C-alpha cells in the first residue's frame, strides 16, 4: 500500500525556518517525481515545488522561489522541503504528492498533510 506521511509542521515566527519531511513507503520511491502542494486555511490548492526522481530537475512556484528548497533522499525514501524567511502568507497545510507519470502526470497519491502556521 502506497503511503506518504508528512511531518515537521508547527508554529513559527515570521522570518523563521522550518523543514518538512515526507516519508514514502509501498512503492519504489526512487522511480517517481514528487511535489509539494499547499492549502491556506479556507483556500484552494497551490502547487509549491517539484523534484524529479533523480533530483536533476527542480521547479518552484514564484511565491516561494529563493526561500524554499526541495530535496530528496532516495536511500531513505524521503522528500523534504526546507522553508526559510517564512511569511504570514505561507501559513497552510502542506501536502507531499506523488506524480503518476504519463501524459498529464497527475498526482495520484497524497499525504495527509502537515500544518505550518507562521505567526508572531
Partner 1 sequence: DIQMTQSPSSLSASVGDRVTITCQASQDISNYLNWYQQKPGKAPKLLIYDASNLETGVPSRFSGSGSGTDFTFTISSLQPEDIATYYCQQYDNLPQFGGGTKVEIK
Q: What is the chain's alpha carbon radius of gyration, rounded to the nearest angstrom?
A: 14
Paired with 68 in beta bridges are 83
The nearer residue to partner 1, 4 or 12, going by C-beta atoms, is 4
Secondary structure of residue 74 in the 3-state scheme: helix
Cβ atoms within 10 A of the Cβ of 72, count?
A: 23
CB of 102 to partner 1, least distance (A): 7
Query: Residue 63 — φ and ψ, nearest 5°?
Result: -65, -20
The nearer residue to partner 1, 36 or 80, going by C-beta atoms, is 36
- x-marked contacts with partner 1 along 79-118 as a string, rule CB under 8 A: ----------------x----x-xxxxxxx-xxxx-----
The nearer residue to partner 1, 41 or 120, going by C-beta atoms, is 41
CA separation for the pair 25, 10 (Å, rounded): 23
The nearer residue to partner 1, 75 or 103, going by C-beta atoms, is 103
Burial status of residue 64 (CB atoms within 10 A of its CB: 0-12, 13-18, 19 or more): buried
- x-marked contacts with partner 1 along 4-23 as a string, rule CB under 8 A: --------------------
In the complex, which residues of this chain contact partner 1 (CB under 8 A)? 35, 37, 44-47, 50, 59, 61, 95, 100, 102-108, 110-113
Amino acid at each position: 500500500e502506497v503511503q506518504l506521511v508528512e511531518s515537521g509542521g508547527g508554529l513559527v515566527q515570521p522570518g523563521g525556518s522550518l523543514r518538512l519531511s515526507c516519508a514514502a513507503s509501498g512503492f519504489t520511491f526512487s522511480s517517481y517525481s514528487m511535489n509539494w502542494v499547499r492549502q491556506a486555511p479556507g483556500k484552494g490548492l497551490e502547487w509549491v515545488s517539484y523534484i524529479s526522481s533523480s533530483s536533476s530537475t527542480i521547479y518552484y512556484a514564484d511565491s516561494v522561489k529563493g526561500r524554499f528548497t526541495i530535496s530528496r533522499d532516495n536511500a531513505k525514501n524521503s522528500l523534504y522541503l526546507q522553508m526559510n524567511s517564512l511569511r504570514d502568507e505561507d501559513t497552510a497545510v502542506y501536502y507531499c504528492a506523488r506524480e503518476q507519470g504519463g501524459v498529464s502526470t497527475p498526482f495520484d497519491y497524497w499525504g495527509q498533510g502537515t500544518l505550518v502556521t507562521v505567526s508572531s
